Amino acid sequence: MKQLSLLFFLSLQLLAFDTKTASKIFDKIFTAMLPKQSIIVYTPHKEYAEVIEMAPSLVLADTYTEADIILVDHLSDISPNNMQTIFTTNPSIFKRDERAVGAFYWEHGRPKIIFLQSRLDAKRMTLSKSFNRYIVKKLP
Amino acid sequence: MKTSRVLFIFSLLTSTLFAQSDESMDALLDTFTHKSDLSEKTRLAYAGNVIIDTREELKRFYMSVEYLF
């Protein structure tokens, strides 16, 4: 029984993800991208769906067609014909896919936020001044 | 005496609420890193006989696999 409870505790630790803080971060990022009271976000990932549901200014969409922003982690999640605004948690998508205006991912053990100026311009998006340091002119 | 105590509690509550609503992005990213670090440390402490891949290593592995397909 002791071993079982220890195993249960360890499995909980392995699944640890700071959903509460992540929801605050995504809330700030998406409200900076779109000046709306409530922003509709679609994500096919269960983990990020929980994050969106916890965020005060974000509403989780059932389908991508009604979404203002699509949050993705894999290229297979997005149809090539879909031209909606994409935000990704995968740096490789950010580098390769022109629809991805920004990304939030881990780099060298630190969470990193990045936006590409040309893609923001193409979507006619202007972020608040506090986000200036996250905007780059060239892909890393 | 009572009024000052009430004022103290009120100011404490309002400052806490204000601090919560106005958390900077830097503070949020620090909290996110710190909490992830804590879970990582707990894992390392309790699972001494398990090989741990770092987040970076997993991401690199995923990217190399994705590149192949």
pLDDT tens digits, one per residue of B28-47: 999 998 887 765 555 555 55
Structure tokens, A14: 């392995």
ipTM of predicted complex: 0.78
Q: Tens digits of per-residue pLDDT, A20-33? A: 999 999 999 999 99
Nearest by CB to B66, from A16, A92, A113: name it: A92
Are A104 and A110 in contact by the 8 Å Cβ rule? The answer is no
Rg over alpha carbons for chain B, rounded to the nearest Å, is: 22
Q: How many helices (H) and strands (E) does chain A have?
A: 5, 7
Cβ of A13 within 8 Å of Cβ of B66? The answer is no
User: pTM higher than 0.80 for the full model?
Assistant: no
Q: Phi/psi at A115 (nearest 5 deg)?
A: -130, 145
Predicted pLDDT of residue A30 = 95
What residues in B contact A16, CB-CB < 8 Å?
35-36, 39, 42
Distance CA A89, CA A92 (A): 9
Phi, psi (deg, nearest 5) at residue A114: -145, 140
Name the amino acid, one letter, at A25.
I
Q: Containing H/E element for A69?
A: strand A69-72
Average pLDDT of span A82-94: 91
Contacts of A2 in chain B (CB under 8 A): none
Least CB–CB distance from A25: residue in B28, B46, B47: B28
Long-range CB pairs of A83-91, under 8 A, 24+ apart, other chains included: A85/A33, A85/A123, A85/A125, A87/A29, A87/A30, A87/A33, A89/A48, A91/A140, A91/B59, A91/B63
